[in-house]
Structure formats: C-alpha cells, structure tokens
A and B are shown apart, each in its own frame.
Chain A
Amino acid sequence: MALIRKIISQSTVDGPGNRTAIFLQGCNIRCAYCHNPETQAMHDAEAKEMSVADVLAEVRKGIPFIRGITVSGGECMLQADFVTALFQAVKKLAQETGHPLTCLIDSNGTVPFYRYPELMAHCDGVMLDIKAWDSEVYHSLTAATSNETVKENFVWLLQNRKLTEVRIVCVPERVDVETILQNIAKTFDFIGEKVPVRLLRFRPHGVIGELANHPMPTDEQMAAYLSLAQALGVTAEER
C-alpha cells in the first residue's frame, strides 16, 4: 500500500509524451519554492491509501493513449518498495496488453537509487531535480543539510543510463544555476553521456513561505542560462 495524493490520467508535463502521473504523499526536504506543499506531510487526510492493484486499474484506463507512467510526489522514493511493485505490475500489464509502457521516476535524489536494484531493473529513467550545486545553497532552499546523495545519484544514474533529464528550478538570487550547469557539463564530459536539462522558471503561484512573493526570473535571465548551457554543450530547454 502507498499513500497517494492524486493521479492525473493525462499529463504532458511529467516526462516525454502523454503519461499517467501518480503523485505520492510525503516529502523529506520541503523546498522553499515547492508549488504543491500539500504533498509534503507524510500523512494527510486528503491522501488515499491505495494498493498496487488500485493504481494499476487507473493506469489501465489510459491504455492505449499513454506512453507510460511517471511516479512523482512528494518524494516517491520514500515509498520505494511500493514503486518497485507498481513498476513490476505495469511492465506485466504492458506485456499482457501488447501496449508498451515506460516507467519513470520524478525524484529529488535524496534516496540512493543503487540500493534498489530491482526497482532500477524495471525503471526506464529518472527525472532528477538538481536544486543547487553548492551544499550551503542547497541547505538554504531545503530542509536537508547536504546534497552529496543527489550528486552521487546524478553520476550513478548517468553511468547506468537511467537518467532521463535533469531539472533545475531557476530562482533569481537563490539558486546557483550557472554553477549547476558548469558542473553538469563537466560530469557529462567525464562520463561521456549526456541528457537534456530542463530549466524551470520559478513561479510564485501556489508557493507558501519565504518565497511566496519572490520575483520570477526575467526573460533575459532565462535566455542567459540557455545560452550558457549552449556554450557548455548542454542541451537545455525552458519550461
């Protein structure tokens, strides 16, 4: 069983193509810019206990219109055993129906993926948030003290070809976007693997707490990030 916040049967913003997106309740890092803070608490009256079979029934409704599923949160890796069982079931469903389905994870990278070999065997890719490169910056944005695990995950996923994309939320004055891009580019070169980078423009809509009235990045700032990425040989796209 898992605590599910909501299921969106037709999502176009949670990975490539049309997907069923499953949002698990509960997060461990409480980002200052979180735009769905209602998913943070580990327990919430609005969330629903669901079994793998319950979720699978929702996924089945999307066939043949979806390319796959994305498990997001909260932080879905806090319920990694459930995600493993779900992915196994979805792959079996794909086989039974003859309709291929990919299984993606949207994660903050605070749980080491290498510890879940069975999950990774059924997972087609991870969309990883790199919220900051500098540990101090990371700490200032989240409840976590260190981002070492995130960086280790980044390298491990890249080496094991399980990284779908990297996401950076661009918050003016608060996120070291340039440093992240430079270090990502270095890692890409070092490992000899590349994935697209998605630059998400911070929007205060729905945000509570200290960033609720923080300005969005300007078009010029976003364009500057994109051209830096290009100069570094990183494929970046804004959303």
Chain B
Amino acid sequence: MADIYSIVTSQQLSYEQKVVALAHAAEDTLSVIPMPERTRYYFEKGAICNLNEGNAPYRPRYIMPDYEKAVRQGVKFLELDPPQDFDELLTFLQVLYRHVPSITTYPVFLGDLDKLIEPFITDLSDDEVKRKLRNFFIYLDRTITDSFCHANLGPEATRAGRLILDVDRELEQAVPNLTLKYDPSVTPDDFAEQAIYTSLCVANPAICNDVLNARTYDRYGISSCYNILPIAGGSYTLTRLVLPRLAALTESKEEFLTKLLPEAMQCMADYMSARIRFIVEKSGFFESHFLATEGFVERDRFVAMFGLVGLAEAANKFAPEGKKYGSDKEADEVAEQIMDAITAFVNAYECPYCEIAHHRLLLHAQVGIDTDYGITSGIRIPVGDEPESIYDHLRHSSRFHRYIPTGCSDILPFDITGKKNPAAVLDIIKGAFSLGQKYIAFYASDSDLVRITGYLVKRSEIEKWNSGKAVLQNTTQLGAPTYASAHLANRKVRGV
C-alpha cells in the first residue's frame, strides 16, 4: 500500500503515468498464475523475470493488428468506415491506435505505415502530404508517450516512405520508432541511403534484414524495441532468463549447463504456459475485444517470447580466466554451448496455443531493464569489450543472431562523418546482413536522440528527468538510469 501512496503523491509521474502505475498495482493484488516452489526460487534469485508483466494478464503483451485489413473493411466497434482520402485515413489510424492494448497500454505496432499511406496520397503534392504527416507524427509523439512503439517501412521504396523519412528527420522525435525492412534485391540503394542518412541525423530508422526475418512467419512486423512478430497476431508474453543471475548460483559450468539451466528453463516455460492459458482461457480477451472479434488479430497467430539476457556475462564467468565474449574464441564457445542448450530445450518444449510457432516458445534477445546492473542486453557484446574492428564485431553478432527468431539487434554509434557517405554505411550493412546479422540500429555520436537498448530517448530529456522534473515520455524514465548504468555513453564509436 505504501507503493500505491507513493504513486498517488508522486511529483515526477505525469497523470497518465500514475493511472497506469495504479492499474499495475491493482492487477498485482491477484495471484492467478501458479508459482511452484522451484519457480518461486528462481524468481527470487532474479534468474527468471517477468518484466513486470503483471500477475493477472488481461491482454497479450504485444499486439500486431492487421491495419491493412482494418483500413479495407472499417471497424464496427469504433464506428469507423473505411477511409476514403488521406485526412480520413489519418483520423482513422489515430482513433484505432488509441484502442490497441499492450503491456505499456500504448500500441507497440503502428503497421507498415508507408504501405498504408501510399494509396491515399496520389493526388497530393509532397508539401501537402508532409504538412499532414507532420501533424500526425506530432499527435503520435505527444499521445503515445512511450517509445516502445514501432512503425515499419519497406522493403519497397515508395513515395510515402521517402516523405515519412523526410518528416521524421525534420521533427526529431522519439515516437514513432521506425524500422526499414531491407532486402538488397528489392530496396533500391538510394532509398536505403536516405534511411541511413536519416538515422545518422535522428537515430531512426533501424534497419531489419528482411531476407532472413521474412522466413520467420508468413507476414511479420517489427514492434516495440525490435520484436519480430506475426502481423494479425503478436506475443502473449515475454518472460526472460537472466543468465548471469542464474550463473551466480554455481561455480561449475557443468552444473550450470546440465542442472540449473534445464531446471530454470522448465520452470520458466511452465510459467509462460500458465500465463498463455490464463490469457486465452480466462481473460476473455479473444472473445470480447473488437480486434479479435472483427478479425484484426487471430488467436492462432500469437507466439510467446522466451527472453534471455546477459549471455556475455554468463559466458565470461565459465570461460577460462580473462577470456571475453566478443573477442576470445574460448568465451564464444562457452556462449555457443549455452545457446545450444537453450535452443535444444525450446525445440523440445510444447507450449499451448502457439500454432503459428508450431507450439514452440520462440527465443528473444531481451534488451534489459533499468535495474540490470552489469548485465548486457540479450546476446550483445558488453560496452567496453567491443572488438577493435567493426567487421569483427558484426561477424560475431551474425554468429549469434542465428539463434534468435523473435528479435535481436546491435546498436552502433557512428562518427558524424558517416552522414557524408551513407553509401559506405550501407555497404557495411549489406555485408553484415549477408553473413546473418538480422537487425542493426545506429546513431551519430552527436545526436540528441539515442537508442538506449532498442527504444529512443532524447539525451536532453534524460537530463531533465535526472534533475527531478516530470517528462512526457515513460521511456525517458527507463532510459535515464540505463544510459548511466549500462555505460552507453562509452559505446565504441565506429568511424566511417
């Protein structure tokens, strides 16, 4: 109750942030998900973490509505007819976004925005489109006050895509987060270079390897940080295995691989299955929410994300003294053993209601949260341990990205000279993608907007929050401590 009182009386939370925090507090008074003793043990040790997903889930964590279908057929529950022109489309989307639930209470996925817009702008000049887009983006940034919110572009070049990039660069906002799906055989170089140039100005968009990620499901989108999920579906849950905290329970690699890891994974998978069952069987979401009843999401297109974090620290612990993940073969081999063990487990475990994933939990390189001290995101190389050569860095991540179907990424700060030669950055991306890298984000070393772990935050907003003032974006509150604790200012800047 003390927590609730502090939420109610906080001067650092905005009104909306208080409402969300109070809802979480209310949900957590229930205990409807079974918590067997060993599961509780791993939770208490911090080795399994449910990312504050709440004790009684009443909607899937991430929802990826089929916006194209909604635009085609309208939305009965919201009394929205199919839009007939660009203004109607933007109003339609604004209203619909407002009603898409998620773990953050804000939509985490805004659709393939270029494809949604393209058919509606044929009769409008560039200036007219950009003026309307500016207002639309300002609305999104100021009302979706959480940058775990993603719109997608590409892989085809479109006029809409180019105008979206222009507006994004001019506005310099944290929302929406953008990702360009990139396929070298479809995406023309000049469009990719415009995206890269934009990213070197405003840290947005990130670039997704469309060739590899498109193999995951029939239709995929990128949501939240960099989650690869089925369109017209989503993910019920994301629970994570905190590998360094699990590794802290033993000094023996053997015991870690053969005893602790299998037991903790079993506990976590059963816990995730229980959450899935509660959402599907008890919460009533799929029976009552208009997104489900009108067919904009389908129950059998949801997956469950089996997250992992801190592979680097776990590998380093069991590697020979002084050998480091990212630069030493011995540590990388330990990391591979860990990943092989995790992969074997999820390939054998059958989870309920995950038809599109063939009833398997899907691995996700979880980015970390603000209270993770000394734990590196997912499968990334720790800040400070990056190889001297960017090529070695990217070869390394390609080797580990192959394990992860529902999202993994690397973030590289580039020297500002990259702005003058986006083609050079594109060459590097092409090379990395050809080796198996799945997703890459970058920003210029002088940019106000920075990528924390996947989401965008303004350095100027971090300073404001650190000085005790309320800020509009929820993610600034997460980003401020993470920027400091994960030493992100010390990320190796790559000269180009």
Write the residues of chain A forming the contact surface with B, with a CB cutoff of 8 angstroms.
9-10, 12-13, 16-19, 61-67, 239
With contacts A18-B425, A61-B391 known, is A10 near B496, CB below 8 A? yes
Number of A-B residue pairs with CB-CB distance less than 8 Å in the complex they form: 52
Q: How many Å from the CB of A80 to the closest CB on chain B?
A: 27
Query: What are 9 residue pairs bridging A and B, where the CB atoms are less than 8 Å apart in the complex?
Result: A10-B389, A10-B496, A12-B420, A13-B417, A18-B421, A18-B428, A19-B424, A61-B389, A65-B391
Instruction: Verify if B430 is at the interface (C-beta below 8 Å from A).
Output: yes
Interface of B is mostly: helix
Interface pair A12/B418, CB less than 8 Å apart = yes
Interface pair A9/B425, CB less than 8 Å apart = no
Interface pair B427/A18, CB less than 8 Å apart = yes
Among all A-B residue pairs, the 10 with the closest Cβ atoms = A65-B431, A12-B424, A18-B427, A18-B424, A64-B431, A12-B421, A17-B427, A12-B496, A17-B423, A65-B428
Residues of chain A contacted by B417 (CB below 8 angstroms): 12-13
Residues of chain B contacted by A62 (CB below 8 angstroms): 391
With contacts A12-B496, A17-B426, A18-B427 known, is A64 near B435, CB below 8 A? yes
CA distance A226 to B435 in the complex (A): 41
> In chain B, residues 398-435, which have Cβ atoms closer than 8 Å to a Cβ of chain A?
417-418, 420-421, 423-428, 430-432, 434-435
Interface pair A10/B390, CB less than 8 Å apart = yes
Residues of chain A contacted by B494 (CB below 8 angstroms): 10
Q: How many Å from the CB of A161 to the closest CB on chain B?
A: 21
Instruction: Verify if B157 is at the interface (C-beta below 8 Å from A).
Output: no
Q: How many Å from the CB of B292 to the closest CB on chain A?
A: 44
The closest CB in chain A to the CB of B420 belongs to A239
Interface of A is mostly: loop
Residues of chain A contacted by B426 (CB below 8 angstroms): 17
CA distance A173 to B418 in the complex (A): 31
Checking A9, A13, A64 against B421 with a beta-carbon cut-off of 8 angstroms, the contacting residue is A13
CA distance A94 to B14 in the complex (A): 58
Residues of chain B contacted by A61 (CB below 8 angstroms): 389, 391
Instruction: Verify if B320 is at the interface (C-beta below 8 Å from A).
Output: no
CA distance A90 to B390 in the complex (A): 22
Q: How many Å from the CB of A116 to the closest CB on chain B?
A: 28
Interface pair B389/A66, CB less than 8 Å apart = no
Residues of chain B contacted by A66 (CB below 8 angstroms): 427, 431
Per-position binary interface string of chain B over residues 338-380, scored 1 when its CB falls under 8 Å from any chain A CB and 0 otherwise: 0000000000000000000000000000000000000000000
Q: How many Å from the CB of A239 to the closest CB on chain B?
A: 7
Instruction: Verify if B394 is at the interface (C-beta below 8 Å from A).
Output: yes
- For the complex with contacts A9-B391, A17-B424, A65-B430, 16 further pairs of A-B residues with Cβ separation under 8 Å are A10-B391, A10-B495, A12-B418, A13-B421, A17-B421, A17-B426, A18-B496, A61-B391, A64-B431, A64-B435, A65-B390, A65-B391, A65-B428, A65-B431, A66-B427, A67-B427
Residues of chain B contacted by A17 (CB below 8 angstroms): 421, 423-424, 426-427
